Amino acid sequence: MSKSNKNILRLFLNKLGIGKAHNEKEKAEDLLRSLEQDNLVSNDVLTMMLGVLEVVDINVRDIMIPRSQMVVLDRDDTIDEYIKIISESGHSRFPVIGEDKDEVLGIFLAKDLIKYAISTEKETFDISDNLRQAIFIPEGMKLDKLLAQFRESRSHLAIVVDEFGGVSGLATIEDVLEQIVGDIDDEYDIEETDVIIELSENLYKIKAQYRIDEFNEFFKVDLDDADYDTLGGLVVHHLERLPKRGESIDFEGFSFKVISVDRRRIHFIEVSKVS
């Protein structure tokens, strides 16, 4: 970023009241676009600043990793099981649970396992002695407030709870920052409106966030959604872990094949009917 861009960005952040009324937000957006048209700010700065304005209107529930796709560590597992989960997922932070996902005991940092994993004293490891305090936030919290809380607490992960206090998912600082700087496109990215694409007869490419009740309506079936809300949740529930690209399950007359997944969530699933 050039020095002039940095100065304009700093001035904008100092002068703009992020929580102002909607019409003030529109004025700010118009100002930014005019600055970009006059070549006073780069397109990258414009994109980032528009993202900053957008986060005040986005709820945590809109960007969280849902409960069904959370990769967690069980308090009662062995160190070898922890090593396997950590190495397969590639995450750096994990909620540690007790009886179920509603009982989050704390957050474990993968780096804290290194000295035990290479030690002859592995058996002395107790995950309960190595937990960081978990942050709990409501689903309705706005992303600008969450970003401020991350900064204040120096945390990178928060547990999202519903109105009854149950865990509904988790949110990371990376999820929030993506809303500001934008996603990095990959070969599977499609337009937001293209939730389902028919690839051929009886073969579909579907977003993992597609709800089970909508899937049922589209395919005229009645899949159970008691334990998960989305297609991604269905796959994770039956595999009991976050899958790798290319893995599949057969369930209720359908084959669900994961065709796009990162270290945190499934993005797209290939669905076909099986006899």
Query: Average pLDDT for residues 173-186, to the nearest whole number?
Result: 69
Query: Average pLDDT for residues 250-263, to the nearest whole number?
Result: 88
Say which residues have a Cβ less than 8 Å from residue 268's Cβ, sequence separation at least 6. Answer: 188, 190, 205, 206, 207, 208, 258, 259, 260
| pLDDT single digits (tens) 211-256 | 899 999 999 999 987 778 889 889 988 888 888 888 999 999 999 9
The residues that bridge with 157 in the sheet, in sequence order, are 172
Question: Model confidence at 189, in pLDDT bands (50, 70, 90)?
Answer: very low
pLDDT recorded at residue 186: 42
Mean pLDDT over each residue of the chain, to the nearest integer: 81
| Cβ-contact 218, 207 below 8 angstroms | no
pLDDT recorded at residue 11: 52
Q: For tokens 């528009």, what's the residue?
A: 50
Pairing of strands 73-74, 93-97: parallel
Task: Quote the CA–CA distance of 233 and 239 in Å, as a whole number.
Answer: 10
pTM equals 0.59
pLDDT recorded at residue 152: 92
| pLDDT single digits (tens) 62-88 | 788 888 888 999 999 999 899 888 887
Taken in order of first residue, the domains within the chain and their CATH numbers are 3-57 (no CATH), 62-181 (3.10.580.10), 196-273 (3.30.465.10)
pLDDT recorded at residue 191: 46
| pLDDT single digits (tens) 114-164 | 878 777 777 788 999 999 999 999 998 988 899 899 999 999 999 999 988
More confident residue, 234 or 188: 234
More confident residue, 8 or 145: 145
Query: Average pLDDT for residues 107-117, to the nearest whole number?
Result: 88
Highest mean pLDDT among 25-29, 61-65, 106-110, 201-205: 106-110
Query: Average pLDDT for residues 12-37, to the nearest whole number?
Result: 60
More confident residue, 104 or 192: 104
Query: Average pLDDT for residues 263-271, to the nearest whole number?
Result: 84
Question: Model confidence at 99, in pLDDT bands (50, 70, 90)?
Answer: very high
| Cβ-contact 264, 91 below 8 angstroms | yes
Question: Model confidence at 20, in pLDDT bands (50, 70, 90)?
Answer: very low
CA 80 to chain centre: 26
pLDDT recorded at residue 15: 46
Enter the tokens of residue 192: 């937001």
